[in-house]
Amino acid sequence: MASQIDEQQVQHVASLAKLKFTDAELSEFTPQLESIIDLFETLEKVDTTGVKPMTSATDQVNVMREDVAVNSNQREALLKNAPEAENGYIKVPAIIDESGDAE
């Protein structure tokens, strides 16, 4: 099965990933992704009936710790890395664009 990823699908995945591509980028990325997804599809050849998926290689099971509240009190230090902060909060623009020309 050849993969069927086209520019429209790439746009859709980009919107899920909070990325945006220009038309030029789109025509560059689409064949690249298509070729890699073709590689992914070689896995179809392997019979994995009844094989349990492996999601971690750790040797630890059910690690517990005491539920103790700590106050690391690092707000000021943390906010220094925020692009915009005010009164101890991180500042972001309005969720809904009020200027009316949002896409």
Partner 1 sequence: MNFYETDLTQLHDDLVNKKISATELTKATYDNIKAKDDQIEAFLTLNEENALAEAKALDEQGIAADQLVAGIPLGVKDNIVTKNIRTTAASKILDNFKPIYDATVIEKLKAQNFINAGKLNLDEFAMGGSTENSAYQVTHNAWDLTRVPGGSSGGSAASVAAGEVLAALGTDTGGSIRLPASYNGVVGMKPTYGRVSRWGIIAFGSSLDQVGWLTTSVKDNALLTSLISGHDEHDLTSSTREVPNFGAQLNDDTNVKGLRIAVPKEYLGEGVDEKVKTVIKDALKHYESLGAIVDEVSLPHTQYGVAAYYIISSSEASSNLQRFDGVRYGVRTNDVKNLEDVYVKSRSEGFGDEVKRRIMLGTFSLSAGFYDAYFNKASQIRTLIRQDFENVFKDHDVVMGPAGPTVAYKIGSTITDPKAMYMNDVLTVPVNMAGLPGMSIPAGLADGMPVGLQIIGKPFDEETMYKAAYTFEQSTDFHKAQPNLGGQN
* Least gap, CB of 76 to partner 1 (angstroms): 10
Q: Of the candidates 4, 8, 48, 71, which one interacts with partner 1 according to CB under 8 A?
A: 48
Binding of partner 1 by 89 (CB under 8 A): no
If one asks whether residue 8 binds partner 1 (CB under 8 A), the answer comes out as: no
Binding residue (CB under 8 A) for partner 1 from 4, 8, 23, 39: 39
Nearer to partner 1, 27 or 35 (CB): 35
- Selected from 4, 8, 23, 46, the binder of partner 1 by CB under 8 A is 46
For partner 1, the binding residue among 40, 71, 73, 86 (CB under 8 A) is 40
Would you list the DSSP string of the chain?
A: ------HHHHHHHHHHTT----HHHHHHHHHHHHHHHHHHGGGGGS--TTPPP--------S------------HHHHHHTSSSEETTEE----SS-TTS---
| CA atoms of 42 and 23, how far apart (whole Å) | 29
